[in-house]
Amino acid sequence: MWKPARGILIPVMFLLFMSQPGLSRAVPAVGQEFPDLRMSPPSTAEDAAYLGVKPSQPFTLSDVGSDFLLLDVMSALCPHCQADAPHMNEVFAAIQEQGLGKQLKVLALGVNNTEFELTLYRNKYGVPFPLIMDEEMVAVTQAGVAGTPTYFLLDLRGRSPQVLHVVEGRMDSPKKFLSNIRAAAGLEKTK
């Protein structure tokens, strides 16, 4: 009975919570520390292997086995995220083609999404990178993100993740987006 209302009630409660003085957090800016979010377990063994984390176990961003992480904060129900899905697939493919896949991993955080919703999204848009659910919006609240899509390039080489690049809203073009990501991380094509 409450399941259909959850799709409306939880986002409204989140917005009310975030609008309270002193409770809302700004999106971490370039040069700032990013919360080392505790993530739900990857949905497949392949996703866990790609990220370099243990299958079927929660993990933190700093557990990801790469120097850099492109974090796509999205929602399977967001029309802007749906429109950007082919662009993110193109960015992911270019990362692999340019030989940057070991240094730069891609991960999408599904805000207020169930595993079922993320599976439908993955199948509909052919998403090749891990989609991790944040059904109760715990991670996104800790990160201070209020809108989707929001993209973060994180440096994972230090004690805690550091923000190198942020894009709030839709990307201009996949090619320009990846060029900005590579420049912010100091990554050169290896192929």
Which pLDDT score is estimated for 21? Answer: 39
Tokens at 190, concatenated = 């290896």
pTM of the model: 0.86
Write down all domains in the chain, each with its CATH number in brackets: 36-185 (3.40.30.10)
Choose among 69, 92, 51, 45: nearest CA to 143: 69
Q: CA angle, 129 as apex, 112 and 88 as ends, to 5°?
A: 80
For every one of its 191 residues, what pLDDT tens digit does the chain have, with 9 covering 90 and above?
A: 555 555 665 555 555 444 443 344 588 999 999 999 999 999 999 999 999 999 999 999 999 999 999 999 999 999 999 999 999 999 999 999 999 999 999 999 999 999 999 999 999 999 999 999 999 999 999 999 989 999 999 999 999 999 999 999 999 999 999 999 999 999 987 77
Please give the backbone phi and psi of residue 165, each rounded to the nearest 5 degrees, phi first: -160, 140
